[in-house]
Amino acid sequence: MDSAQFRKAAHAAIDEIINYYDTIGERRVVSEVEPGYLRKILPDGPPQEGEKWEDIQKDIEAKIMPGLTHWQHPNFMAWFPASSTYPGMLGELYSSAFTTAAFNWLCSPAVTELETVVLDWLAKLLNLPASFLSSGEGGGVVQGSASEAIVTVMVAARDKYLRESTAHLEGAEREIAIAEKRGRLVALGSEMAHSSTQKAALIAGTRFRAIPAGLEDNFGLTGKNFREIVDQCLLEGLEPFYLTASLGTTATCAVDNFGEIAEVLRDHPAIWVHVDAAYAGAALVCEEYQQLTHYMDNFDSFDMNMHKWLLTNFDASCLFVKRRRHLIDALSVTPSYLRNEFSDSGLVTDYRDWQIPLGRRFRALKIWFVMRTYGVEGLKNHIRNTVKLGELFCSMIQSRPDLFKVLTPPAFALTVLCVVPHSKSPASASVPQPKAAREAYSNSFTPDATSQALIDSNLLTKQVYEAVNSRAEIFVTGVVVKGTYAIRVVSANPKAEEKYIRRAFEILVEVAEEVRNQVGGKGMEPVRET
Amino acid sequence: MDSAQFRKAAHAAIDEIINYYDTIGERRVVSEVEPGYLRKILPDGPPQEGEKWEDIQKDIEAKIMPGLTHWQHPNFMAWFPASSTYPGMLGELYSSAFTTAAFNWLCSPAVTELETVVLDWLAKLLNLPASFLSSGEGGGVVQGSASEAIVTVMVAARDKYLRESTAHLEGAEREIAIAEKRGRLVALGSEMAHSSTQKAALIAGTRFRAIPAGLEDNFGLTGKNFREIVDQCLLEGLEPFYLTASLGTTATCAVDNFGEIAEVLRDHPAIWVHVDAAYAGAALVCEEYQQLTHYMDNFDSFDMNMHKWLLTNFDASCLFVKRRRHLIDALSVTPSYLRNEFSDSGLVTDYRDWQIPLGRRFRALKIWFVMRTYGVEGLKNHIRNTVKLGELFCSMIQSRPDLFKVLTPPAFALTVLCVVPHSKSPASASVPQPKAAREAYSNSFTPDATSQALIDSNLLTKQVYEAVNSRAEIFVTGVVVKGTYAIRVVSANPKAEEKYIRRAFEILVEVAEEVRNQVGGKGMEPVRET
């Protein structure tokens, strides 16, 4: 493909992409292909001779589109969004044009330096303490995902703990002590923390223990529960070295009690605390959320994904650490072919030592383009608009207490709801609610709900969830939160608008009424929690 | 940025990128900015109000370009290439437009299915055994980098080893045995293996031991040396569980002796062997290299980067495993919000369980576009042309035995050379050579070279390397191979051509003569090997 052919091909691609974005709402939000659909329609191998772009491009609409679930569809309300925006795409386009392995500064100084600059910008926007800026002992690095960031900091935490807790020993004695401690290390996270903490512990080769986080605390981790598990681990001879604290859990966007966690750390200063703000961290660009960073200086690391709610294309997981040397101590190995006078001088950052992979993409470009195209006000407006849509949606749900219950108060543009069985049934309005939700949204809450009532609600909610998704006008996620089946509806999509949220409510009402009338709460299979 | 603005911006971006590629040879190949250059010319934070694309785009040439080292420059002959091609860029562009978190099949079935299909295509192109195809118990997955792939398989290998070696135990007894074994695990790799094996061991929390690989074996790992280290580890009470075998080492593109390694595995079947073919694996698309896969069925995993030598934009590290369940056993944790009927049915692949991060990009698109645009013949031609350029370059180097010595035979478009001191000096032609190189390229080899002669050659070669790079017409890498300082010249760039290789040779001759006349082998500082 020469330059002229590329120009033509790229213009055709741009046209197709624009058309896709302009008409995305007309497509079925979730793909309905059967597993294995693509192999059946593709040849067994690549062509011997090259093909023309026209022929390749045709296959995008014909063969790829049917297999896409459209995350940018305004009716995509599942999981958390994966933002895509035009300036983000331009960033990816230039990034691919400037391809470099970028494992050290000299590979392309701009890749490293722009990343340092825009992450300092972001740290300030998010109201992180100055200790997380590159001008101090900390700094930011773009990772591929929040889960990768958790592995990275957990490895750093593990090695820091092993190093510091054996600092009084030497030689073989120290080596033996470290080997013994490895088998006793335990990483912690609330039972509501994202599963990537558990996976990170698998990768780092340590134990993992989940800390209870109850309905009564709005599913946020309390200091009391944290302390109890730490004490219990110590009693069992285990050594807790790491905690994931969540700013916005996956299931309900719960926020852990950072003040209480910081209090516990006074007695257990060796525990590394990582704040996983993967989705909800984006809200920190708005002043009204910034009190959430009040205790951040007590913690070791913080991560948020601009690629979820902050209008930047996947991947842009922004990890900040308070002491960059902890990452470098754990992850640096520098052979001769990676040495150069700049790295040796210590004047430059070699981000390969801040991450698991060696090579890396020029991801800072899209962050820079997005920040400049939207401006700070544009970013804030997006957060505020979508939060408002979430509150609107929740208020609509609240307007039908005969049909729905809100499980937790609406948070960060997420609403978590359950369907309530017919009012004649004893299960009516029996979905348990946390304290905060009870106060703000109380309507005929029944604290002594029987477990049968919960089972009824669970079965009904699951059926409604499945019926809504199989109608495929909107796409939402089902979740089991401590035994309660619920539906998550997220209004944080870049294309989110009031009309779509209102329509989502209508659909939920229609489907809930339909399902409830059909089944009457009978003959449903039990919900499996895993 | 609305659709019309995006069309205009994207067209301007495409024009800029085409102009960049058409004129890249006129730029200075390696950036000459000083550390910290970018912060000085950027504001302290993002603008409050959004900016226009025209203003943002201006800053690319003004502020980013000076900080780029141009990996697509025809005179970029350093490290290994990071390919960028027009169809690769189109793949990245569509991938960003179709942004999805893609952590399971339902997120966008096409993302998973295209990946499975094109990796099966690639496995067949590379002549991998059928056991590595998805139709059997194996399969391929696109990772971000070869180093990430090594961490992934090492974790799988570690857990498989711990699980299988304690299968006869139960409960607490097994748990204790596993904890004890963790402290005894040792990952192996030849001393020439890429540093990412050592880093992976840091991450996986195991020991690492390097196996000697000598000049006499062309720096390839032999069965004898592998067996000796395994025996030695066992004697010390350590448990070797993993080996990286290299198909093309970083320093000299050495290939380990796979046949001998397979032989040792008969006595040590618990050791997982991963073949790291990050760069040179691309050559397997050509029949004349395919005998290298003869023993592959004895090994557990194989990884090559299409983004290095196979015309695909970074990142496209293609990892193949013989038993996919080993990855899934080690890396799967599935909470309720990631469950769906398709994943539960076992009919679909959820690639999140084959990798460290949860989320992933649609990387298969660019692989598909590249394979179809070039065709199999196009891919082979690129490999053969660039290999031929490497051989031409080496023959030119060989034509000046008064100035240069080839350290190892040219391999995979890489030439590794040393500068020899003046002929009057006793160091003349004293650079040690491996047996194969001696036979193929012998010219006044001096087996009894004094160590002073080696020091002279090292100092001279390092000075020539530095002088060549500071002239900045070509960009090459210096390397220390077991005490010998050498210069690596790679001719595998997508834009590589004979005229550039000839010019590179001229530059090396000019600089070598100049440096040698200036210093006369005196007053040079010793070379540090790290």
Q: What is the mean pLDDT of chain B?
A: 92
Nearest to A110 by CA among B60, B100, B93, B421: B60
Residue that is written with structure tokens 């390969």 in the block? A352
CA angle A260/A266/A267 to nearest 5° reads 105
CB contact under 8 A, A330 and B202: yes
Residues of B in contact with A492 (CB under 8 A): none
- Considering only CB atoms, A110 lies closest to which of B38, B83, B92, namely B38
- CA A189/CA A273 separation, integer angstroms: 10
pLDDT class of A347 with cuts at 50, 70, 90 = confident
A57 and A152, same domain (yes or no): no
Residues of B in contact with A198 (CB under 8 A): 333
- Supply A83's token pair: 């933002």
- Supply A64's token pair: 């790829």
Residues of B in contact with A183 (CB under 8 A): 176, 178-180, 182-183
CA angle B79/A369/B28 to nearest 5° reads 35
pLDDT of A438 above 60: no
Q: Which of A68, A84, A109 is where one domain is finished?
A: A68
pLDDT reported for residue A85: 98
Considering the domain boundaries, does residue A77 fall inside one?
A: no
Mean pLDDT of A179-197: 95
Q: What is the mean pLDDT of chain A?
A: 92
DSSP string, B198-234: HHHHHHHT-EEEEEP--GGGTTPPPHHHHHHHHHHHH
Nearest to A148 by CA among A283, A383, A292, A331: A331
- The alpha-carbon gap from A360 to the nearest alpha carbon of chain B, in Å, equals 8
Considering the domain boundaries, does residue A302 fall inside one?
A: yes
CATH number at A413 reads 3.90.1150.170
A357 and A396, same domain (yes or no): no
Considering the domain boundaries, does residue B367 fall inside one?
A: no
- Supply A487's token pair: 């539906």
CATH number at A27 reads 1.20.1340.10
- CA B320/CA B274 separation, integer angstroms: 10
A355 and A384, same domain (yes or no): no
Q: Is the bond leading into A315 cis (omega within 30 degrees of zero)?
A: yes
Nearest to A297 by CA among A265, A328, A255, A268: A265
Q: Is the bond leading into A456 cis (omega within 30 degrees of zero)?
A: no
Considering the domain boundaries, does residue A428 fall inside one?
A: yes
B160 and B206, same domain (yes or no): yes
Considering the domain boundaries, does residue A159 fall inside one?
A: yes
* Any A CB within 8 A of B8 CB: no
Task: Note the pLDDT tens digit of each residue in B49-105.
Answer: 999 999 999 999 999 999 999 999 999 999 999 999 999 999 999 999 999 998 999
Q: Which of B361, B395, B415 is where one domain is finished?
A: B361
Considering the domain boundaries, does residue B205 fall inside one?
A: yes
A258 and A311, same domain (yes or no): yes
Domain count, chain B: 3
Q: What is the DSSP letter of A60?
A: I
pLDDT reported for residue B409: 87
* Any B CB within 8 A of A480 CB: yes
Task: Count chain A–chain B contacts defined by CB atoms under 8 A.
Answer: 455
A389 and A334, same domain (yes or no): no
B41 and B127, same domain (yes or no): no
A127 and A48, same domain (yes or no): no
Residue B507: strand, helix, or coil: helix
Task: Note the pLDDT tens digit of each residue in B282-298.
Answer: 999 999 999 999 999 99
Residues of B in contact with A482 (CB under 8 A): none
- The alpha-carbon gap from A464 to the nearest alpha carbon of chain B, in Å, equals 15
Compute CA distances A273 → A130, A297, A426, B23, whole Å: 17, 11, 44, 49
pLDDT class of A343 with cuts at 50, 70, 90 = low
Number of alpha carbons in the 13 Å side-chain half-sphere of residue B141: 29
The separation between CA A346 and the C-alpha centre of its own chain, rounded to angstroms, equals 33
Considering the domain boundaries, does residue B301 fall inside one?
A: yes
- Cβ neighbors of A119 (< 8 A, separation 6 or more) are A134, A139, A140, A141, A142, A318, A320, A364, A367
CATH number at B506 reads 3.90.1150.10
Residue that is written with structure tokens 């302390």 in the block? A227
A162 and A305, same domain (yes or no): yes
- CA A135/CA B353 separation, integer angstroms: 38
Q: Provide the residue range defining the domain that includes A124.
A: 100-361
B33 and B119, same domain (yes or no): no
Considering the domain boundaries, does residue A152 fall inside one?
A: yes
Residues of B in contact with A159 (CB under 8 A): 202
Number of alpha carbons in the 13 Å side-chain half-sphere of residue B182: 25
Which amino acid is it at B438?
R
* Any B CB within 8 A of A146 CB: yes
Residues of A in contact with B63 (CB under 8 A): 110
pLDDT of B437 above 80: no
Most B CBs within 10 Å, among A19, A77, A86, to test the B interface = A86
B157 and B264, same domain (yes or no): yes
CATH number at B288 reads 3.40.640.10
pLDDT of A21 above 50: yes
- Supply A235's token pair: 């009693």
B351 and B470, same domain (yes or no): no
Task: Note the pLDDT tens digit of each residue in A35-49.
Answer: 999 999 999 999 999
Question: Exposed/middle/buried for A517, CB within 10 Å: 0-12, 13-18, 19+?
Answer: exposed
pLDDT of B426 above 50: no
